[in-house]
Amino acid sequence: MATVNVTLSLSSTDLFAKQTLSFTETDTLSPAGDQQVIGKLYLTGDGTEDQISLKAIAGTDNRAYIYMKNLSSTSGEFIEVSGRRSAWATDSTANDWFAVLGPGEFLFIPITDVYNIDLEAGAGNPTVEYILMEKAQ
């Protein structure tokens, strides 16, 4: 069985006036579901939704982790990220995104009840890299 080691560290001495921020979380994931996908998607531009199509990840016992990074370094090339929950290969509705990735930004989150991941560029044609790791049921 494959394992993925995850570490997240946050630290700052000046974010809060009276408190230092310093913590590190680590975990070992064991993705073993049907879908283990890595790729890049070259977005087609502002106003057009591009999709990462998935086999249904549905229910509380069927979960996955997704890592996604906006590879652009150009100001204004942000990416709106939304999850389609009702049907394959259909677009999300306007303004239903759950994240916006600016140039160089990334996310790593658990997901469930998703058929597609929809991506829309705010401007230009940014590229997103992604890894999807489905957990075993």
In this structure, what DSSP letter does residue 36 have?
E
What pLDDT digit, counting tens, does each position of 24-61 carry? 999 988 888 778 889 999 998 877 888 887 777 766 66
Task: Please say whether the beta carbons of 113 and 59 come within 8 A.
Answer: yes
In sign, the C-alpha dihedral spanning 82, 85, 90, 95 is negative
* Architecture in CATH for domain 31-135: Sandwich (2.60)
pLDDT (tens digit, 9 = 90+) per residue, 66-97? 999 999 999 999 999 988 655 555 555 555 78
Instruction: Name the band, by pLDDT with cuts 50, 70 and 90, for residue 62.
Output: confident
